[in-house]
A and B are shown apart, each in its own frame.
Chain A
């Protein structure tokens, strides 16, 4: 692809080797809505192409500037101590959270800005680079799972592994279903799954191509609270096992507390505040950020 070649050139030709991690600057207008966001997410573990449970506990914090070490040693945030890889995009409806995810995935194209991931340029309005979604290696889990209704669970999970041989693919599908704790679900139809099961399959499907970043667009919003809690711990486990950095869009503070290491507060298309979750929750810094965090469930 032309865009791909241009991206390679831009990456290798750059005199300033961009630090790994995610670096986003976007300016976009959709109707009356203006999205103007800039944020960085520090790297966690090295992006792995193989989300198998073989690297347990290896999600070391990378050398990063945006997240001080205190974030991972806050005694009041018991479960957050090792959930290195989840960044929460938190804000009310209409804040631009989903739109931001769509930009990252390549499903939307901003008027201006730049997106870099792990030293790769995915989008740069200045040089006209806009990698299509299929070349970004970014997984996306939708709010309503969006499983292909005409394919079996195995067909869904294997969809992004079309390059593999038939038997290899079947083997990987088995492994991934094992990973999301749905062994033996291969031949099930999406319509026969519960909401929680469908989201697990959607997770397995998004992990299948070995993404270097996983985006989650309110994946728990349509689920009842018990399934929510269950899936939260599931997500935390997957984050640790795979080491794949995740960005979670949510308007639930419970999700933020339970899952995220880094928090980005979004309102009306702008980043209101960002930083380590524990820090921001304890000290929002501005009245605006405090007001957003005050509303328990937006």
Chain B
């Protein structure tokens, strides 16, 4: 086993970590809004947010290609700002993993927020705290377990991203070839030993990450 062969695995975890972090930053506020505010068109936003979860990954990849391709709006913005093209870069892999995984985080976090008894938030209001402070000091900590579960699901989904990733990031060895893509390539090329090893390592490391998150969630009993 050489360093080059292990690169897809390392890339997978880098991409999935960044994508999960982004999902958390974008998804938590959205989940809170969906759970706690009467938004105009809540159903519409729910569908938009959950769509990436049910769409075929290739459809997702196709739309992303339209968006971040060289003639797509985001692709052009990126090139105009001097960041270069987006497609077939590790950034594209992150974007694909992010879009595919954020619905899992939002769903779990929204359910978590909705389970928090609003009486706690009302008590906090009468104690003179701002809505922002209440969300951070009351709602968030009380929904923490559900959010952890969402992080675990989103991370697993991001590690497993394949269809959309292949379409927007391709499979450039040492650059955009993630673990799940590398397994497919290995099988296609008849390198069954490589596929076997990669699959095993991906299974073990993902299971380990999930176990860690589950443990974290169990410790917080009040």
Q: Which of B123, B128, B222 contacts A150 (CB 8 A)?
A: B222
Determine if A3 is an interface residue (Cβ-Cβ < 8 Å): no
Shortest distance between the CB of A50 and any CB in chain B (Å) = 16
**What would be 30 A-B contacts, judged by CB atoms less than 8 Å apart?**
A105-B126, A106-B125, A107-B126, A133-B122, A133-B125, A134-B128, A134-B130, A135-B128, A139-B126, A139-B127, A140-B122, A142-B119, A142-B123, A146-B120, A146-B123, A148-B138, A148-B142, A149-B142, A149-B222, A150-B141, A150-B222, A159-B124, A159-B137, A160-B127, A160-B129, A162-B128, A205-B127, A206-B126, A206-B127, A208-B127
Which A residues lie within 8 Å of B123 (CB)?
A: 140, 142, 146, 148, 205
**Residues A162 and B129 in contact in the complex (CB < 8 Å), given A146-B119, A146-B120, A149-B142:** yes
Tell me if B133 is interfacial: C-beta within 8 Å of chain A: yes
The 3 A-B pairs of least Cβ separation, nearest first, read: A160-B127, A133-B125, A140-B126
Q: Could you say which residues of chain A place their CB within 8 Å of the CB of B117?
A: 146
> How far, in angstroms, from A162 to B120 measured CA to CA in the complex?
17
**A206 to chain B: which residues have CB within 8 Å?**
126-127
Residues of A within 8 A of B (CB): 105-107, 132-140, 142, 144, 146, 148-150, 159-160, 162, 189-191, 205-206, 208-209
In the assembly, what is the distance between CA of A142 and CA of B121, in Å? 12
On whether the beta carbons of B119 and A144 are closer than 8 Å, the reply is yes
Closest A residue to B123 by CB, please name it.
Answer: A146
Q: Are B122 and A190 in contact (CB under 8 A)?
A: no
Picked from B128, B137, B142, B220, the residue with its CB within 8 Å of the CB of A209 is B128
Residues of chain A within 8 A (CB-CB) of B220 are 150
State whether A162 touches B133 (Cβ < 8 A).
yes
Find the residue from B124, B128, B130, B142 having the highest chain A CB count within 10 A. B128
Cross-chain contact A107 with B142 (CB below 8 angstroms): no
Contact with A along B17-44 (1 / 0, CB 8 A): 0000000000000000000000000000
Given the interface pairs A149-B222, A150-B141, the reply to whether A107 lies near B125 with Cβ below 8 Å is yes
Q: In the complex, how many residues of chain B place their beta carbon closer than 8 angstroms to a beta carbon of chain A?
A: 19
Q: Which of B124, B125, B137, B222 contacts A189 (CB 8 A)?
A: B222
A106 to B126, CA, bound (A): 8
Decide if A190 touches B127 in the complex (CB within 8 Å). no
CA distance A206 to B182 in the complex (A): 60
CB distance from A189 to the nearest CB of B (A): 6
The smallest C-beta distance from A207 to any residue of chain B, in angstroms, reads: 11
B221 — nearest CB in chain A belongs to which residue?
A: A191
For B142, list chain A residues within 8 Å (CB): 148-150
Look across to chain A and name the residue whose beta carbon is closest to the beta carbon of B124. A159
Return chain B residues, CB-CB under 8 Å to A208: 127
CA distance A162 to B128 in the complex (A): 9
A97 to nearest B CB, angstroms? 16
Q: Which residues of B103-142 are within 8 A (CB) of A? A: 117, 119-120, 122-130, 133, 137-138, 141-142
The winner among A106, A136, A149, A205 for most chain B CB atoms within 10 A is A149
Please give, as numbers and ranges, the residues of chain B lying within 8 Å of A146 by CB-CB distance: 117, 119-120, 122-123
| Chain B residue nearest to A145 in the complex (CB) | B123
A144 to B124, CA, bound (A): 15
Tell whether, in the assembled complex, residue B222 and residue A190 are in contact, meaning their CB atoms are under 8 Å apart: yes
List residues of chain B with CB within 8 A of the CB of A132.
Answer: 125
User: Which residues from chain A contact B126 at a C-beta distance below 8 Å?
Assistant: 105-107, 133-134, 136, 138-140, 206
Query: What CA separation (Å) do A159 and B120 show in the bound complex?
Result: 12
A116 to B140, CA, bound (A): 34
Q: B130 — nearest CB in chain A belongs to which residue?
A: A134
- What is the CA–CA distance of A283 and B138 in the complex, to the nearest angstrom? 47
The answer on a CB contact under 8 Å between B125 and A159 is no
Cα of A106 to Cα of B138 in the assembled complex, Å: 19
Q: B161-189 CB contact bits vs A (8 Å, 1 = yes)?
A: 00000000000000000000000000000
